[in-house]
Amino acid sequence: MDKSNLDSPHLGSKNIFEGFYELIEEHRFNAEKDFELGNFYDHLSAFDLAYQEYNFRNNELSNKIVTKYLTDSLYSFFVLFKFKGFSDRPVFYAFKKFIQFYSLLLEKSDNVQSDFFFEKNISKNFPTLFEGDYINFLSKNDFNFNLLGTSNFDEYEYIISKAEYRIALDFGIPNPISVYLKDMEEETEEPEDFVKKEFYLFVTEFKIIEYHWDSENEKFIEIDFSYEMTLDIRIDTNDNDAQLQTEILFKILSSLSNINNVKLEFEHILKGSLIVRVRAYIKDLVAKEETKAVLETTKEALIKTATAGQVSHVETKKTSAETDKIKIEQKKIEKELESLPTNLESKISNALELEKKALENENLRIRNAKEKIEIIEKLSSLATAGILEADDLKIDINEILYILKSGDSIETTDTDIDKIT
């Protein structure tokens, strides 16, 4: 491992893992310590190895993004432990949760293309590690830990204690209010409200995995998943006609909102050029594939307009929705066969019946696939028409450029839609 990847200006020539290992050794040799770290060193070593393996199998851009958020998050914990050491307090257990959660991120986030993925995982699950008083405090103070002594603790006691309290709540760990809420009148939450917190892993292919923390076995348990993507849309028209701009936006959004099990919500709208951020909540895999098909077919249609090429509709040929129906029918047939008489004549008769049903299912699959393609084509045509009405337009999916129209010029991304995280 090239440990320079994790060098931090706050640690001089050391990297963040070396800093933690040194703290662990100091704790082990401290004769006055009253708290055993248990398997903490093993957890940290496994996490270090997972990071090394991630760097080995991923491209340079992805490694830079991962390192950026990992270093910042680890440093937030490092300062807390450097100031107060390791002890039996909520933030210590929050850190053990953090390295397990981040290990899941590393496992499921190969070759990310933008900051969006890791920023969202940290900001949505652990906001105290992403922004706020404590992060501002760290950004303004370049600590020389060798010069810190007990006289410095009082100066930073308030911000450090408050940070520990907030971080523990982010991780669903209750706190002793008498300790953490001293002189913090603005903090009134009951710790119990956070004990059952769920955690959400935002991974590639628009997937969101929901986890619950199993406190007995000290590990994350997957309990559900769905899909989600963010669309940033900017629409410009020469005369800034509000009606035309909203009609264009309506056509683009209608192409997605008319897909079954897709729900759209506005996150924000800005005036001038019409600039909106829309979040798409996608309930299941079928809806995700159909959403991708509409987006890809729209992109191909725009390329055809710009280059006089042909729309291939590769993505529209997915028939995931009908596959489930066919499987159900097949299970019914298999169940019927299990209860059939054993004589040869009955077997032949029912084999013919089975073949007939299979042919009917195949015809049904083809017919439904054709209808699905026609629906997707209509939806993508609606979005294409809206985009072409704009003088200038830009669509980003999860902060990666997807479509850019400037006058008659149209630019689209070469990035595989499954890799837009």
75's tokens:
């440093």
* Residues 98, 50 share a domain: yes
Residue 325 inside a domain? The answer is: no
pLDDT tens digits for range 375-398: 888 888 899 999 999 999 999 999
Residue 104 inside a domain? The answer is: yes
More confident residue, 190 or 294: 294
Identify the domain containing residue 145 by its residue range.
Answer: 16-217
* Residues 126, 92 share a domain: yes
Number of structural domains found in the chain = 2
* Residues 135, 59 share a domain: yes
Q: Among candidates 42, 73, 94, which has minimal Cα distance to 215? A: 94
pLDDT tens digits for range 212-269: 998 888 889 999 999 999 999 999 988 888 889 999 999 999 999 999 899 999 998 8
Residue 275 inside a domain? The answer is: yes
* Residues 289, 182 share a domain: no
pLDDT at 82 over 90: no
* Residues 389, 295 share a domain: yes
* Residues 193, 236 share a domain: no
Cβ 162 vs Cβ 186: under 8 Å: no
> What is the pTM (predicted TM-score) of this model?
0.75
Residue 380 inside a domain? The answer is: yes
Cβ 214 vs Cβ 121: under 8 Å: no
Task: Return the DSSP state at 145.
Answer: G
Residue 317 inside a domain? The answer is: no
pLDDT at 122 over 90: yes
- Split at pLDDT 50, 70, 90, the class of 270 is confident
* Residues 91, 71 share a domain: yes
Residue 3 inside a domain? The answer is: no
pLDDT tens digits for range 156-199: 788 888 899 899 989 988 765 444 444 454 544 444 444 568 89
Residue at a domain's end among 217, 246, 271? 217
pLDDT at 19 over 60: yes
For the purposes of burial, counting CB atoms within 10 Å of the CB of 338, is it exposed (0-12), middle (13-18) or buried (19 or more)?
A: exposed
Q: For the range 220-225, what are the long-range contacts, defined as Cβ-Cβ under 8 Å and sequence gap of 24 or more?
A: 220/100, 220/101, 220/104, 223/198
* Residues 176, 304 share a domain: no
* Residues 158, 32 share a domain: yes
* Residues 238, 210 share a domain: no
pLDDT tens digits for range 20-66: 898 888 888 876 667 888 888 888 888 999 999 999 999 898 889 88
* Residues 194, 87 share a domain: yes
Residue 401 inside a domain? The answer is: yes
Residue at a domain's end among 158, 193, 217? 217
pLDDT tens digits for range 298-355: 999 998 887 765 444 444 334 444 445 555 555 565 555 555 555 555 555 666 666 6
Residue 278 inside a domain? The answer is: yes
* Residues 303, 207 share a domain: no
Residue at a domain's end among 217, 244, 271? 217
